């Protein structure tokens, strides 16, 4: 069973919030729309995740990366840590119940792992995710699920 584990240091960013615009030319609607991500720095965060994933795989060439992609079903575990707000109580246990949304944090990491660890995030059949306060980052564990 293939198992990959790595950590990424940095402020986790979200994916999934998009904005669409109608394309106009000469004041007339062209029938096309353009959709963009609204999260600034998302590309940088996804590149950090990809770089750490490639290091964890120990792959040095693009051709090797293509052949090292997991083929079947996988299990993914993500543990996000976020900076504790200065307004949070110092002596009482608090939880990160405000933004960012956990599902959007997960989406950004799974998008980054697509084409790096596995072919498509549709291969993920089991997902565990959590967020807590601590040094900002994410710990990623991917396990290939084999039939017995």
Residue 65 has a pLDDT of: 62
- Which of these, 131, 70, 140, lies nearest to 98 by C-alpha position? 131
pLDDT confidence of 62, banded at 50, 70, 90? low
**How far is residue 6 from each of residues 20, 28, 45, measured CA to CA in Å?**
34, 50, 15
Q: Inform me whether the pLDDT recorded for 19 exceeds 90.
A: no
How far apart are alpha carbons 131 and 140 in whole angstroms?
12
Residue range 84-116, pLDDT digits in tens: 999 888 899 999 999 999 999 999 999 999 999
Q: How many domains does the chain have?
A: 1
Domain that holds residue 116: 3-144
How far apart are alpha carbons 45 and 12 in whole angstroms?
7
How far apart are alpha carbons 3 and 84 in whole angstroms?
31
Residue 81 has a pLDDT of: 97
Q: Inform me whether the pLDDT recorded for 74 exceeds 70.
A: yes
Question: What CATH number does the domain containing 36 carry?
Answer: 3.30.1330
Q: Inform me whether the pLDDT recorded for 131 exceeds 90.
A: yes
Phi-psi region of 31 (alpha: psi -120 to 50; beta: other; left: phi over 0): left
Q: Inform me whether the pLDDT recorded for 32 exceeds 90.
A: no
């Amino acid at each position: 069973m293939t198992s990959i584990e790595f950590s990424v240091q940095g402020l986790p960013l979200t994916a999934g919030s998009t904005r669409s615009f109608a394309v106009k030319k000469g004041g007339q609607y062209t029938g096309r729309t353009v959709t963009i991500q609204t999260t600034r720095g998302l590309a940088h965060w996804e590149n950090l995740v990809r770089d750490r994933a490639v290091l964890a795989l120990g792959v040095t060439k693009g051709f090797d990366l293509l052949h090292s992609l997991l083929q079947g079903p996988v299990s993914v575990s993500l543990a996000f840590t976020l900076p504790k707000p200065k307004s949070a109580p110092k002596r009482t246990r608090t939880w990160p119940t405000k933004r960012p949304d956990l599902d959007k944090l997960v989406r950004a990491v799974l998008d980054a792992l697509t084409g790096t660890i596995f072919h498509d995030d549709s291969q993920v059949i089991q997902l565990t995710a959590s967020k807590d306060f601590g040094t900002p980052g994410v710990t990623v564990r991917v396990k290939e699920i084999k039939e017995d």
